């Protein structure tokens, strides 16, 4: 049976690690694309040689030519400059817009029916840019962010309580940045609300560490940024799309009235399937939660305004 094709634009740490997580799932044949001569082809060959050891049987190829993404069901865009110590996501705005824009223009031409997953930071604004440039319907332009932020919160809670991370369910909405909105009422430990397990002071520390999750890794690495967890987050999204599971994850999508917001890309729960976004899930929010989500949206809108979106 012919496997679907998934393309990853950008063969750096995030792109290559995404390819590894996807290959281990035996979901699809993979194409890595990067402007650096030999980078995508070399990483593709290395990954392919891991197949006999890890038990995956997919074709992985590399190219410098974006036309190679033709016929891809899903195109993941990780291409862009990483953050360096002291650099905010907003600092990357103009530089990465100049990378994402021509990439999306080519994808729109050679793979007009693909689902786009955007990983490049600042995530929400780059997703808005990709939607604007491609003209694709909102179902097919999705930003990866809330899954990663939720996973980080799960990890920090797991460490604090010394319980398996698999027993924790977290939900983080809003922008991928300082104004993210962890929903504590929807974050549970073995079904019990997190607020009943963790006192307010340590809880605030866990939430702040989640907000700073990417920056903390940047400081430790000194060169580059997170790649393992972002790659795994993308793989989870692609699996839901390719397998048409309808699984619900927080992703950055275009809001058209949901949560009282319009004309902005923001992380909210969505069901993912073979068409991309199957539906947007509207959770009941308290007035404080809704206000926090709207503050988060205002931050994204400011970035969109800089790009004229």
Instruction: Given the residues 132, 155, 167, 176, select the one marked as catalytic.
Output: 176
Check whether 227 has a pLDDT greater than 70: yes
125 and 161 inside one domain: no
Return the higher-pLDDT residue of 281 and 222. 281
**Domain total for the chain?**
2
Look up the pTM and report it.
0.95
What CATH number corresponds to the domain at position 225? 3.90.110.10
Tell me the CA distances in angstroms from 1 to 28, 29, 58, 183, 275, one per residue in order: 11, 12, 12, 42, 21
67 and 155 inside one domain: no
How does DSSP classify residue 3?
P
User: What number is the average pLDDT over the span 214-232?
Assistant: 91
Check whether 124 has a pLDDT greater than 80: yes
236 and 182 inside one domain: yes
pLDDT tens digits for range 146-176: 999 999 999 999 999 999 999 999 999 999 8
Mark which of 121, 143, 165 sits at the end of a domain: 143
121 CB neighbour count, 10 Å cutoff:
28
258 and 243 inside one domain: yes
**Euclidean distance between CA atoms 215 and 226, whole angstroms:** 9
21 and 113 inside one domain: yes
User: What number is the average pLDDT over the span 67-86?
Assistant: 88
**Euclidean distance between CA atoms 241 and 74, whole angstroms:** 8
**Euclidean distance between CA atoms 200 and 107, whole angstroms:** 47
At 224, the pLDDT band (50, 70, 90 cuts) reads confident
Check whether 202 has a pLDDT greater than 70: yes
63 and 208 inside one domain: no
Mark which of 126, 143, 160 sits at the end of a domain: 143
Residue 1: its pLDDT value, please?
Answer: 61
Pseudo-torsion of CA 283, 22, 113, 107, nearest 10°?
110
User: What number is the average pLDDT over the span 217-233?
Assistant: 91
In the annotation, is 176 catalytic? yes
Strands of the chain, DSSP E: 5-9, 29-33, 60-63, 74-77, 115-118, 141-143, 168-169, 172-173, 181-182, 188-189, 192-193, 248-256, 262-273, 276-280
121 and 228 inside one domain: no
138 by Cβ neighbours in 10 Å (0-12 / 13-18 / 19+) ranks as middle
Residues, the chain, total? 309
Check whether 87 has a pLDDT greater than 70: no
How does DSSP classify residue 201?
H
Q: Which domain holds residue 212?
A: 146-306
Check whether 84 has a pLDDT greater than 80: no
Q: Kindly provide the b/e burial profile for residues 193-217, where b requires at least 16 CB atoms within 10 angstroms of the residue's own CB.
A: ebeebbeeeebeebbebbbebbbeb
Tell me the CA distances in angstroms from 276 to 243, 245, 251, one per residue in order: 11, 11, 11
Mark which of 143, 178, 207 sits at the end of a domain: 143
**What is the residue-averaged pLDDT of the chain?**
94
127 and 246 inside one domain: no
At 218, the pLDDT band (50, 70, 90 cuts) reads confident
What CATH number corresponds to the domain at position 70? 3.40.50.720
Residue 231: its pLDDT value, please?
Answer: 97
Cis bond leading into 122, ω under 30°?
yes
At 119, the pLDDT band (50, 70, 90 cuts) reads very high
12 and 111 inside one domain: yes
User: What number is the average pLDDT over the span 8-28?
Assistant: 97
Phi/psi for 2 (5° steps) reads -70, 130
Nearest Cα residue to 90 out of 215, 226, 255: 215
Under 8 Å between Cβ of 124 and 85: no
87 and 172 inside one domain: no
Percent of the chain with pLDDT over 90: 85
User: What number is the average pLDDT over the span 268-287?
Assistant: 97
121 and 155 inside one domain: no
User: What number is the average pLDDT over the span 122-128?
Assistant: 95
204 and 230 inside one domain: yes
Check whether 128 has a pLDDT greater than 90: yes
């Amino acid at each position: 049976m012919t496997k679907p094709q998934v393309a990853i634009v950008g063969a750096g740490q995030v792109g290559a690690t995404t390819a590894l997580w996807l290959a281990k799932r035996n979901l699809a044949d993979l194409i890595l694309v990067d402007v650096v001569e030999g980078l995508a082809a070399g990483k593709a060959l290395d990954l392919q040689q891991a197949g006999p050891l890890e038990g995956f049987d997919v074709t992985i190829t590399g190219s410098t030519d974006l036309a190679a993404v033709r016929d891809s069901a899903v195109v993941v865009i990780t291409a862009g400059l990483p953050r360096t110590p002291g650099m905010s996501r907003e600092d990357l705005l103009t530089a990465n817009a100049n990378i994402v824009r021509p990439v999306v223009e080519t994808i729109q031409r050679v793979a007009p029916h693909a689902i786009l997953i955007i990983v490049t930071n600042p995530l929400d604004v780059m997703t808005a840019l990709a939607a604007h440039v491609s003209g694709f319907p909102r179902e097919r332009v999705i930003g990866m962010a809330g899954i990663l932020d939720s996973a980080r919160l799960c990890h920090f809670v797991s460490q604090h309580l010394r319980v398996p991370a698999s027993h924790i369910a977290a939900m983080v909405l809003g922008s991928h940045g300082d104004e993210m909105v962890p929903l504590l009422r929807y974050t549970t430990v073995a079904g019990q609300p997190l607020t009943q397990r963790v006192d307010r002071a340590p809880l605030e520390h866990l939430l702040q560490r989640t907000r700073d999750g990417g920056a903390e890794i940047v400081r430790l690495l000194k060169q580059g940024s997170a790649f393992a967890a972002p790659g795994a987050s993308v793989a989870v999204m692609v699996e839901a799309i390719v397998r048409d599971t309808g699984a619900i994850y927080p992703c950055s999508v275009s809001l058209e009235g949901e949560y009282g917001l319009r004309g902005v890309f923001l992380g909210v729960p969505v069901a993912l399937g073979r068409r991309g976004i199957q539906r947007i899930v509207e959770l009941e929010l308290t007035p404080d939660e809704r206000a926090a989500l709207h503050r988060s949206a205002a931050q994204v809108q400011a970035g969109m305004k800089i790009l004229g979106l």
